[in-house]
Structure 1
Amino acid sequence: MPVRIFWKDINGTYLGANKLFLEDAKLSSKDEIIGKNDFQMPWGETEAKLYRADDLEVMNSDISKINFEESQTNDKGETTVLLTSKIALKNANEDIIGVFGSYMDITKQRNTEDELREQKVILSHQAHHDALTGLPNRVLFNDRLEQAIEKAKRSNSKIALLFIDLDHFKEINDSLGHDVGDEILKTVTTRLNESKRDEDTLARLGGDEFTIILEDLHQVQDSSLIANKVLESLSKSMNVNDNVLYVSSSIGISIYPDDGVSTKDLLKFADSAMYKAKDEGRNNFQYYNSTLTELAFERVVMEASLRAALKNEEFIVYYQAQVNGDTDTIIGMEALVRWQHPTMGLVSPAKFIPLAESTGLIVELDRYVMKTAMTQISKWYEEGLNPGVLAMNLAVKQLQKEDCIEVFQELVKVTQCRPEWLALEVTEGKIMTHPEKAIVILQKISDLGIELSVDDFGTGYSSLAYLKRLPIDKLKIDQAFIRDLPDDEEDAGITKAVIALAKSLNLKVIAEGVETQVQRDFLVENGCENIQGYFYSKPIPSDEFENILRNGF
């Protein structure tokens, strides 16, 4: 490879160069270069400063720079890549008098390497992705599933694998041709991408078979939400080449680690469940574990009932007294929702609250409960009663809504409820998921004059640094620590510690789940006068609570 050679004095002035260097400098003889510096060369405006800095570094340190890459741009804007070496130029006395250098033009070599690298990326993508849809293919799917399994092992979490097969796709392909079939597969890909979460992996295994890997499942049945979205999305008509077509799907679901712990088993079992879905009449999903399928369908029915219940106002609000344990007088109440189902009767919150949270219906439910309870407490105050402060649960999803503050302001206005009559309870573990965001929104709520308390305190993972920054007024000791008081030493110690923490932070404290005289006495003696629990009253309808307000316990 041709080598350019040059040498300069200590001031950066050229003393000489070989013929190839002169050609690059657009000079015809050695005499022309003597006395010039890099600022007078074709690369003067673009690289001269850099070259001078390099020269000084070599001369000042007396450390050679060998085979380093640099670029050079000529006056036409064309860039070449150079492999350069520089050493200090010395006289007979070993004094540094300049710099001696050489370089080779390796532009073609680098361009070739870049092209090969680009080709490698393209070939790697082709080897791991489906050419028609651009989705991960079977090879990449297997790799992603293995990674998901390893991650789930470390975090002790669950994975769902959805195996999706299009119903009657072969008939469409055979009758209308592969071009129409390809367009359907592209449309299906778009709809599947819209149905899954961003973090889920969608792959095409081949033909009309697709898979979705769902990671970090909180509940196994959550996979049924995605499966239902897929079924609903794919069942809609498709307009392909002036043909209105309908393509449904059958979905099989396997769960890690419940059904299997290897990629091979999970795929095999999801495939098996998919055939079960086809046997059930197509356009449905089935779990490999038939019990899960029953639970999923129960969930679907329950969700539909929940939506209808909100529309039909089947929810009622119960109130549980909060009492000063010293004086046995009511200081407030907590509003608790109950579902009066027309056929199932009173449905436990444990059955529908988690479902409302996972479907997002909790926001609408929360707002309904708040409006009902705030209207009621305003009525009691208007009638001359003294119900105290109304405590209401505030879902984290409510906090995440952009109109959260406006909704509270509007509720206060329409119910004629004063902010000082209200307290909102937020669950410790859930606000600590995104504490910075929670602090901002909770501060705005606090600025409205509404009291804030942390519910279930002691069961989550609060950072005391964040707890100090949260604009809260009260801690609520979880009933898990109250249940075995005063006999359980550990629970007694935790309860005393929470009371002491509340006092040190100038916060009020209340204990929930108090059921016995000895529990009440222990709490009052240790500085927690505010009591909630069956010892005083279970949650009751508004008319029964009004009776207590008028006549006492």
Structure 2
Amino acid sequence: MGISMWSVHFTGLLALNPFHFYHLFTFPMVIVSLLLAISGVMVSYLLFFQQNDSHWHSIFSGITFGSGIIGMHFTGVKAMMGNSIRYDFKLVIVSILITFLLSILSMYVWNRCRQNGEPSIKRTLGMAVLIGLTITLMHYMAMSGGFYIQTTGTQPTLLVSRQVLLIVVTVVNFFLFAIVLLLSYFNQKKAEQNASDKERRYRSLFEQNQDGIFILDPLGTIMEANEAIEGISGYRKGELYGMDFFRMIHPDDLPMTVAYFQDSQKGIPHEFQVRVYDKQQREIFLRVKNVPIEMNGKMDGIYVIVRNITSQIKMEKQLKQMAYYDALTGIPNRRLLQERLKKAVQQAEQNKTNVALFYLDCDRFKWVNDTHGHKTGDLLLKGFVQRVAKCIRESDTLARLGGDEFALIVNGFESKQEVIRIADAIIQSMRKPWNINGAEFIVTTSIGISIYSGGETNINHLLAQADKALYASKEKRGGTYHFYTKEIAEKMDRNIMLEDGLRQAVSLGHFHLVYQPQVDIQENQLAGFEVLLRYTHPTIGMVSPSEFIPICEKIGIIHEVTEWVLKEVLKQQKKWKDTGFGEIPIAINISPTTLENPSFLHIVQSLMKQFETNPTSIEFEITEDAFMHNMNHVKVILGKLNLMGIKISLDDFGAGYSSLKYLKELPIDKVKIDRSFIKGIPEKEREKAIIESILELTRRLKGEVICEGIETEEQLLFLKEQGCQFVQGYYYSKPLSKEEVEKKFITQGLISLRQAAGQ
């Protein structure tokens, strides 16, 4: 640049001969002029590339560049021999100011080109014109401001003639031109090599990229694709060329994809997830990134970079399924139920509607699981869900809370009757017998319902209320539903206290036994005793068996309690025998749940062996509830007990619906007529007819009958006339402690029972 400036300057000097003098030039000054031009350019370039991008950067570089031009000019003019020059300082100052101004402007333009990346041809030409104009204006304006006077005197030894200097300048210019051409040639070659290398790197990145890459034209036609696309789409690259990219998109995702594509045509990139169809028309998930392709300031197409995330999506769905859905039944779990219940309550609050929350329990599931195995239990739960699903709407949410407990959200109903209809339908659906893996049984469902009708009740309150209502249903032995009420809540609080007390009742000695005599009225003598369990809560006091026995069954301690009763009864029976009172027959009530205990027979055998009990002196009283759910299993258990010599008595006979069937198919030794039939005799003819029929039927079946609830002499005389042999009731005695039994009925011998009853 400096040599070029110097050549332009001296070419101008040689072209100017105002007085037609033959000029000589002082060679040292010519060299100094050249060095000033070169140094000015170098220093300005150093300043230009070292400064920041502020305006001062262009100003300082421009001043340095202009100073080099000014110094070169005046030094070159000074090199002319034979002339004395006087200047018009006004023109000289103007030329200097113009030089600085144009130099600064040149640097500013250059700086803008550098900031914008590769300079355009227009900007490059503009910068070159400014630099040339700066040198030219400086030269001619300064020369115009000088007055040249020929002088004579001593001349320096190192002189260069005008012709020689012209030759030197010409040679230098041609030399520079040759260098520029060579540099341009080599730069072009280097640029071509760089472009080639860049193309190879791009092709390598394009072809070997693990992500698939489409190149689309502005209309969405596939122009090119890399190798990874073949593995993702199943298409060969040759099959993709010319294909409409949008043909592969899932119809539901097409509007979104087209919208993003249109944005990309405007230079707006997008990254999104979309479903596409591969060559085999399988649905796959892609993560897509649209990158606009700009050529010469215009949109030329779009890079579509895709990654197959189908496995990731499936994994996310599996994780979501595990997090929010029950693995066995496939329905929502507790977490998702709570989220949907919260949303349902919010919507009900906004829309002024109601939400009902059901708690459902698959009654006797534990027995099915323990008796028939976990596989049958799992199939039962699946079937339970299927039956409930047929009774509800698609908008309702059925969820499994765990084990055999389920919940149901019902929203958008108009009246409570709709909720009742759903509850009734679910209960009815469960009455059909189950036949799973060859096992036939009946299970019912207990339902508790809470209703949100506005206010500040949160979902935890609804869940707690439904749970309390469910508890009330389970107390009724299942197969029913209850809505939450304050009375239920109070009873629930009482039951919680009872549950806590019952769990420790055996160990703390809060249970005790009482004995009620059973009398042979034909022989007027003691026939034995029915043993009854009593419980005293430390806070509540005495609690009825009808209340605490179902709780024992519910909380799973009935087997422990039954074992304690058997042990205490057999121990007391042995004590009486060892005392010399003989083998006193004793009847023991057995819970239906206990008969389902796989260890029950072993416990009975072990205790009878321990206390040397005569099996014929023991009688187990069972109710019809024991047969309702799995008659075949109970039949087997009763048969084994019968073989051991233990008598079986059917309690509350006549109060159920299938008693005659049980008499026909089961090993029943004795039936106990329910007190509800005794209460009306001998006044009511209907009750008398029923009693007479049962007595006649039992005699023909060669069985025994015992009537409970005898309270009057008239009742006793009627039963005796009808041939009834055994009775029990308050007419003879209320249930007594073992000490009272010994005092009233044993130590005095078999005295007149009527007399004992009057004491």
TM-score (norm: length of structure 2): 0.40
Partner of residue 422, structure 1? 618
SS at match of 2:747: helix
Instruction: Report the alpha carbon displacement of residue 275 of structure 1 after superposing the two structures with TM.
Output: 6.0
Whether 1:550 and 2:757 are equivalent positions in the alignment is no
Q: Residues 132 and 382 of structure 1: is their aligned pair in 2 closer, same or farther, counting only changes over 3 Å? A: closer
Q: 1:475 aligns with which of 645, 652, 671?
A: 671
Tell me if structure 2 keeps the 8 A contact 1:330–1:388.
no
Q: Residues 465 and 277 of structure 1: is their aligned pair in 2 closer, same or farther, counting only changes over 3 Å? A: closer
Tell me if structure 2 keeps the 8 A contact 1:360–1:397.
no
Q: Residues 411 and 277 of structure 1: is their aligned pair in 2 closer, same or farther, counting only changes over 3 Å? A: same
Tell me if structure 1 keeps the 8 A contact 2:357–2:409.
no
How big is the alpha-carbon RMSD for the aligned residues of Structure 1 and Structure 2?
Answer: 4.2
Partner of residue 525, structure 2? 329
CA distance in 1, matches of 2:661, 2:468: 47
Partner of residue 433, structure 1? 629
Whether 1:393 and 2:589 are equivalent positions in the alignment is yes
Instruction: Report the alpha carbon displacement of residue 363 of structure 1 after superposing the two structures with TM.
Output: 1.8
CA deviation string 1:128-157 (max 9, x = no partner): x9795134478xx99xx9xxxxxxxxxxxx
Aligned pairs for 1:211-360 (under 5 A) are 255-256=448-449, 266=451, 268=453, 272=457, 274=459, 276=461, 289-360=485-556
CA distance in 2, matches of 1:494, 1:528: 13
Whether 1:195 and 2:402 are equivalent positions in the alignment is yes
Q: Residues 387 and 539 of structure 1: is their aligned pair in 2 closer, same or farther, counting only changes over 3 Å? A: farther
Tell me if structure 2 keeps the 8 A contact 1:386–1:549.
no
Instruction: Report the alpha carbon displacement of residue 435 of structure 1 after superposing the two structures with TM.
Output: 1.4
SS at match of 1:384: helix
Q: Residues 437 and 286 of structure 1: is their aligned pair in 2 closer, same or farther, counting only changes over 3 Å? A: closer
Instruction: Report the alpha carbon displacement of residue 505 of structure 1 after superposing the two structures with TM.
Output: 1.1
Tell me if structure 1 keeps the 8 A contact 2:448–2:467.
no
Tell me if structure 2 keeps the 8 A contact 1:315–1:337.
yes
Tell me if structure 1 keeps the 8 A contact 2:359–2:448.
no
Instruction: Report the alpha carbon displacement of residue 300 of structure 1 after superposing the two structures with TM.
Output: 1.0
Instruction: Report the alpha carbon displacement of residue 297 of structure 1 after superposing the two structures with TM.
Output: 1.9
Q: Residues 160 and 323 of structure 1: is their aligned pair in 2 closer, same or farther, counting only changes over 3 Å? A: farther
Instruction: Report the alpha carbon displacement of residue 441 of structure 1 after superposing the two structures with TM.
Output: 0.6
CA distance in 2, matches of 1:217, 1:416: 53
CA deviation string 1:186-213 (max 9, x = no partner): xxxxxx9563416x346799xxxxxxx9
More strand by share: 1
Larger gyration radius, structure 1 or structure 2: 2
Relative contact order higher in (CA < 8 Å, ≥ 6 apart):
1
Q: Residues 508 and 311 of structure 1: is their aligned pair in 2 closer, same or farther, counting only changes over 3 Å? A: same
Tell me if structure 1 keeps the 8 A contact 2:359–2:408.
no
Q: Which amino acid aligns with 1:401?
A: N
Instruction: Report the alpha carbon displacement of residue 535 of structure 1 after superposing the two structures with TM.
Output: 0.8
Whether 1:161 and 2:358 are equivalent positions in the alignment is yes
Q: Residues 325 and 387 of structure 1: is their aligned pair in 2 closer, same or farther, counting only changes over 3 Å? A: farther
Unaligned runs of 5+ in 1: 1-110, 114-125, 146-158, 164-191, 206-212, 220-253, 260-265
Q: Which amino acid aligns with 1:454?
A: L
CA distance in 1, matches of 2:424, 2:609: 41
Q: Which amino acid aligns with 1:438?
A: V
Q: Which amino acid aligns with 2:558?
A: I
Q: 2:605 aligns with which of 397, 409, 413?
A: 409
SS at match of 1:397: helix
CA distance in 1, matches of 2:566, 2:681: 33
Q: Residues 535 and 269 of structure 1: is their aligned pair in 2 closer, same or farther, counting only changes over 3 Å? A: farther
Q: Residues 393 and 308 of structure 1: is their aligned pair in 2 closer, same or farther, counting only changes over 3 Å? A: same
Q: Which amino acid aligns with 1:396?
A: P
Instruction: Report the alpha carbon displacement of residue 509 of structure 1 after superposing the two structures with TM.
Output: 0.6
CA deviation string 1:343-391 (max 9, x = no partner): 4443322331221222222221122111111111111122221463110
Partner of residue 14, structure 1? none
CA distance in 1, matches of 2:468, 2:543: 27
CA distance in 1, matches of 2:455, 2:563: 40
CA distance in 2, matches of 1:276, 1:404: 40
Tell me if structure 1 keeps the 8 A contact 2:358–2:407.
no
Report % sequence identity.
32
CA distance in 2, matches of 1:468, 1:377: 32
Partner of residue 574, structure 2? 378
Tell me if structure 2 keeps the 8 A contact 1:375–1:416.
no
Aligned pairs for 1:82-101 (under 5 A) are none
Partner of residue 324, structure 2? 133
Q: Which amino acid aligns with 1:478?
A: D
Tell me if structure 1 keeps the 8 A contact 2:522–2:725.
yes
Q: Residues 274 and 292 of structure 1: is their aligned pair in 2 closer, same or farther, counting only changes over 3 Å? A: farther
Instruction: Report the alpha carbon displacement of residue 328 of structure 1 after superposing the two structures with TM.
Output: 2.1
SS at match of 1:445: helix
SS at match of 2:581: coil
Tell me if structure 1 keeps the 8 A contact 2:533–2:545.
yes
Tell me if structure 2 keeps the 8 A contact 1:375–1:417.
no
CA deviation string 1:460-499 (max 9, x = no partner): 1225344212111101101111111111222111111111
Q: Residues 131 and 363 of structure 1: is their aligned pair in 2 closer, same or farther, counting only changes over 3 Å? A: closer
CA deviation string 1:381-421 (max 9, x = no partner): 22221463110001111111111111110110122221111
Aligned pairs for 1:2-151 (under 5 A) are 133-134=324-325, 135-136=331-332
Partner of residue 41, structure 1? none
Partner of residue 98, structure 1? none
Partner of residue 535, structure 1? 731
Q: Residues 130 and 292 of structure 1: is their aligned pair in 2 closer, same or farther, counting only changes over 3 Å? A: farther
Whether 1:511 and 2:696 are equivalent positions in the alignment is no
Q: Aligned pairs, how many?
A: 335
Q: Residues 324 and 466 of structure 1: is their aligned pair in 2 closer, same or farther, counting only changes over 3 Å? A: closer
Q: After the TM superposition, list the runs of 4 or more consecutive aligned residues in structure 1 that deviate by more than 4 angstroms.
A: 129-132, 201-205, 213-219, 267-271, 275-278, 282-288
Tell me if structure 2 keeps the 8 A contact 1:515–1:533.
yes
CA deviation string 1:234-271 (max 9, x = no partner): xxxxxxxxxxxxxxxxxxxx954xx6xxxxxx355798
CA distance in 2, matches of 1:463, 1:515: 25
Instruction: Report the alpha carbon displacement of residue 290 of structure 1 after superposing the two structures with TM.
Output: 3.0
SS at match of 1:383: helix
Tell me if structure 1 keeps the 8 A contact 2:358–2:466.
no
Q: 1:451 aligns with which of 647, 661, 665?
A: 647
Q: Which amino acid aligns with 2:402?
A: S
CA distance in 2, matches of 1:435, 1:499: 25
Tell me if structure 2 keeps the 8 A contact 1:333–1:387.
no
CA distance in 1, matches of 2:716, 2:503: 40
CA distance in 2, matches of 1:507, 1:271: 63
CA deviation string 1:82-125 (max 9, x = no partner): xxxxxxxxxxxxxxxxxxxxxxxxxxxxx999xxxxxxxxxxxx
CA distance in 2, matches of 1:309, 1:513: 29
SS at match of 1:539: coil
SS at match of 2:732: coil
Q: Residues 194 and 414 of structure 1: is their aligned pair in 2 closer, same or farther, counting only changes over 3 Å? A: farther
SS at match of 2:706: strand
Partner of residue 135, structure 2? none
SS at match of 2:503: helix
SS at match of 2:667: coil
Q: Residues 161 and 346 of structure 1: is their aligned pair in 2 closer, same or farther, counting only changes over 3 Å? A: same
Partner of residue 240, structure 2? none
Q: Residues 307 and 269 of structure 1: is their aligned pair in 2 closer, same or farther, counting only changes over 3 Å? A: farther
SS at match of 2:656: coil
CA distance in 2, matches of 1:216, 1:416: 52
